[in-house]
Amino acid sequence: MSKQAKRDAKSLFRNCQINGILDEKRVLQTVDEVLKRKPRGFGAILSHFQRLIKLDEAARTAKIESATALTPDLQNNYKEILTKRYGQGLYFIFQENPGLLGGVRVQVGSDVFDGTVRARLNELNESFKAA
């Protein structure tokens, strides 16, 4: 993929943000507009554009997994803490995962806070391997 295509995609992407938050309507309008005009290398531009959107979405998604379902109170608690840390515009997913055995695993973008029993057991397991 050419540098120019990446640069173009990046500037389209920036134009779709309002106050640092991606605006869905603008994203769709942008895609329609590019498809209508078909500028040189528009395929590459759109595919990189899509990638940026995907990464932005990942960065704005907070996934909270727990062995047992969290009460609404606890859920709100998490929303508050994470919004304080990562800012407005987060999209929250709460998931139940008995495989974690206990505790909570939070992922926002590529940041992970893993306090599950499963993670600690894995760590213990690795430390035995290393020794």
Partner 1 sequence: MSNLLQEIESKISGAQTSVAKQNVGIVREIGDGVAKIEGLTDAMLNEMLDFGNGVTGLALNLEETEVGAVILGDYTGIKEGQEVRTTGKLLSVPVGKGLLGRVVNTLGLPLDGKGPIKSDVSYPVEKIAPGIIKRKSVGQPLQTGIMAVDAMIPIGRGQRELIIGDRSTGKTTIGIDTIISQAVQNRAAEAAKDTSYRPVYSIYVAVGQKQSNIARVIAVLEEAGAMPYTIIVSASASDSATNQYLAPFAGCSMGEWFMDNGMDALIIYDDLSKHAVAYRQVSLVLKRPSGREAYPGDVFYLHSRLLERSARVNEKYGNGSLTALPIIETQMGDVSAYIPTNVISITDGQIYLETDLFYQGVRPAVSVGLSVSRVGSAAQIKAMKQVAGRIKLDLAQFRELAAFAQFGSDLDAATQAKIERGKRVVEIFKQPQFSPLLVEVQSVILWAAQNGYFDDVAVEKVKDFQKKLVDYLTNRKADLMGRLSKEKAFSDAIAGDFKSAIAEFKQTYK
71-110 mask for partner 1 (x: CB under 8 A)?
Answer: x--x--xx-----------------------xxx-xx-xx
Shortest distance, position 29 Cβ to partner 1, whole Å: 23
Segment contacting partner 1 by CB under 8 A, of 19-27, 39-47, 63-71, 87-95: 63-71
Smaller CB distance to partner 1: residue 18 or 112? Answer: 112
Would you call 60 exposed, middle or buried from its count of C-beta atoms within 10 A (0-12, 13-18, 19+)?
Answer: middle
Token pair recorded at residue 129: 């391997």
SS3 of 95, please?
Answer: strand
Shortest distance, position 107 Cβ to partner 1, whole Å: 7
d(CA 81, CA 116): 18
